[in-house]
Amino acid sequence: MTAALFIPPVPGVRPIRTTTVVRWLSLGLLVSSTWGCGGPALAAGGPPDAPVAAGEPRETLVVELDLPRGATCEQDFDVGLYEQRAIVLVEWLESSPRCSARHARIQYLPRRLSKAALLDLLKKRAQRVTEAPAAGTNPASPS
């Protein structure tokens, strides 16, 4: 004798065929894999983390910034800046809970983004931007 799965009929509910369920699940997986994971956005701009050739030049800009006040001012600035794919790294030179007088070292790809364009981008995201005099030193540390 074989054991069979028996589900008693529920009054007023029409049974669904297995093929119908499989079709709807397949459609759901297709939609979520293309839209839910950024399909249209990725198709428009290419892969988000495409590797950069080792020989491509990189430049560094050290700035002092006043960020818009908020609990996540540093994070909001970082995320907004990384939308520009020519930004390689944003490094905060000190850890601080403040949003004003912050020092950052920004590494970027000069073939894709000029220094003037980077400064314009920074001015859109910060309340005040001042270029630091020496790119290799930490302006927050005493000499």
Q: Which two tokens stand for residue 69?
A: 């006040």
Could you tell me which residues come within 8 angstroms of residue 96 by beta carbon, excluding any fewer than 6 positions away? Answer: 102
Domain parsing of the chain, residue ranges: 59-131
**Cα→Cα distances 143→98, 106, 137, 139, 140, Å:** 23, 22, 10, 9, 9
Concatenated DSSP letters of 50-107: PPPPTTS--EEEEEEEEPPPSTTHHHHHHHHHHTSTTEEEEEESS--S-SSSEEEEEE
pTM: 0.60
pLDDT in tens, 43-71: 455 556 678 888 999 999 999 999 998 88
> Is CATH 3.30.70 correct for 59-131?
yes
| pLDDT score recorded for residue 135 | 47
